[in-house]
Amino acid sequence: MDVRQLQYFLAVVDHGSVHRAAKELFVAQPSVSQALRALERDLGADLFHRTGRRLVLTPAGEVLIEPAREVLRGMELARAAVAAVDGLVSGRLLISSMPSQAVSPLAGMISRFSRRFPGVEVVVRAAATPPEVVAAVRVGRVELGVLGAPETPKHDGVVVRRLGTQRFILVAGADGQVPSGEPVAASALAGVRLIVGQPGTGMRRVADDIVRAAEGCRIAVEVEHREAVLPLVLAGVGVAVVSESWRRLALDAGAVVRDLDADDELSVCLIHRAGRLSPAAVEFCADR
C-alpha cells in the first residue's frame, strides 16, 4: 500500500467513478483501475462492489476512508511544514464556504491573507448549508470552513472560531416592491413574490416565515445558485431575503435594500479539525 493508491482510492470515493477520478487527477483511467486492484490485493479485501460501470463502497471501503484521509493529510502537513521553514512563500490552502459568508467575511480575510502571503494559492469550494461545510472539514476535503448558522455549531473533533453575526435584509429591483421605512415587518410584505434559497439555508428559513406571516406572499423562484439571486431581483422577478453580507453588492448594482424586522440572525464561524494545522491555515486563522 502506498500514498498514490490511497490518493486514487479517495478520488474515486469523492468523484463517484474511475473515469471522473482519472479526469480530476490528470491520469489515464487504467492507472486508477490498476492502483485500486493493487490496493485491494494488498489489503486482502474488495473496496468496491462493481456493477457495470457503477462502484459502490463495501464495508471495507467505508472503514478505509478516514484512515486514508489521515495519511494524505499527514503528507500534506509534512510538505507544508518543510516548505514554510524559510517563510510562507508558497503552498495551497483549501477552504469550504457558504455563498453569503464567501462574500463577507471570507473575501476580506482572503484579501488580507493574500497581501501578506501572495505566493500561497487559496482555493474556495462552495457548500450550500452548514452541514456541508462541516462535512468537508471533518473528512479532510478542505482544511478550513466558513459558515453561517442559526446557532454556533458544536461537533466532536471540530474547532469553532466565532467571527460575528449577520442579520437578514430585503433586496428589491425597484421602489414599490417593498414598503418604505425600516425595518420592514414580515406582515407588511403581503402579496410579494420572493426569491429564495434551497431548504436548509438561513435565507430560506426566514423566507418561509415571511410567507406564513404575509397574506398572499409566495415563493416565485427557488434557486441553488446564489450568484443568480441579484440578477433575478434586478430583472423584477421578485424580492430576495439575503444575509446582510450582500448589502454593498446589492446597492452598487442599483438594487433597493431594506432592513428586515426579524429576530433571526446567523452566527458566522471559522471551523477546522482539531489537531495540527498547516502553516498557511495557522496564519489564516490568526486573522479573526
Q: Is residue 116 in some structural domain?
A: yes
The total number of structural domains that make up the chain: 3
Look at residue 256 in the predicted model and tell me its pLDDT. 93
Q: What average pLDDT does this structure show over 171-187? A: 86
Look at residue 83 in the predicted model and tell me its pLDDT. 67
pLDDT grade, residue 259 (50/70/90)?
very high
Do 30 and 11 share a structural domain?
Answer: yes
Look at residue 108 in the predicted model and tell me its pLDDT. 94
Q: Is residue 78 in some structural domain?
A: no
Q: What average pLDDT does this structure show over 62-91? A: 77
For residue 7, what is the domain's CATH number? 1.10.10.10
Look at residue 217 in the predicted model and tell me its pLDDT. 94
Q: Report the alpha-carbon angle 194-200-205, nearest 5.
A: 45
pLDDT grade, residue 85 (50/70/90)?
low
Do 246 and 205 share a structural domain?
Answer: yes
Do 132 and 198 share a structural domain?
Answer: no
- Distance of CA 65 to CAs 14, 15, 132, 283, Å? 10, 13, 17, 28
High-pLDDT (> 90) share of the chain, %: 45
Q: Is residue 91 in some structural domain?
A: yes
Neighbours of 250 (CB within 10 A): 22
Q: What average pLDDT does this structure show over 30-46? A: 89
Do 193 and 237 share a structural domain?
Answer: yes
| Domain closes at, from 71, 93, 120 | 71
pLDDT grade, residue 24 (50/70/90)?
confident
How high does pLDDT run on average in the chain? 88
pLDDT grade, residue 152 (50/70/90)?
confident
Do 205 and 90 share a structural domain?
Answer: no
| Domain closes at, from 45, 71, 97 | 71
Look at residue 183 in the predicted model and tell me its pLDDT. 93
For residue 130, what is the domain's CATH number? 3.40.190.10
- Distance of CA 270 to CAs 60, 132, 148, 155, 285, Å? 33, 14, 9, 13, 8
Instruction: Choose between 99 and 83: higher pLDDT.
Output: 99
- Does residue 271 have a pLDDT over 90? yes
CA distance 67 to 71: 6
Q: Is residue 252 in some structural domain?
A: yes
| Pairing state between β 184-185 and 48-51 | unpaired
pLDDT grade, residue 176 (50/70/90)?
confident
Q: Is residue 49 in some structural domain?
A: yes
Q: Is residue 79 in some structural domain?
A: no
Do 277 and 137 share a structural domain?
Answer: yes
User: What domain range includes position 134?
Assistant: 84-163+268-285
Q: What average pLDDT does this structure show over 147-175? A: 89
* Sole residue written with cell 430585503: 170
Q: How many CA atoms lie within 13 A of 197 on its CB side?
A: 21
Q: What average pLDDT does this structure show over 201-209? A: 89
Identify the weakest region by mean pLDDT among 51-55, 61-65, 100-104: 51-55
Q: Is residue 108 in some structural domain?
A: yes
8 A C-beta contact, residue 145 and residue 96: yes
Instruction: Choose between 75 and 218: higher pLDDT.
Output: 218
- Does residue 51 have a pLDDT over 80? no
Do 255 and 179 share a structural domain?
Answer: yes
Do 99 and 237 share a structural domain?
Answer: no
- Does residue 77 have a pLDDT over 80? no
pLDDT grade, residue 87 (50/70/90)?
low
Q: Is residue 181 in some structural domain?
A: yes
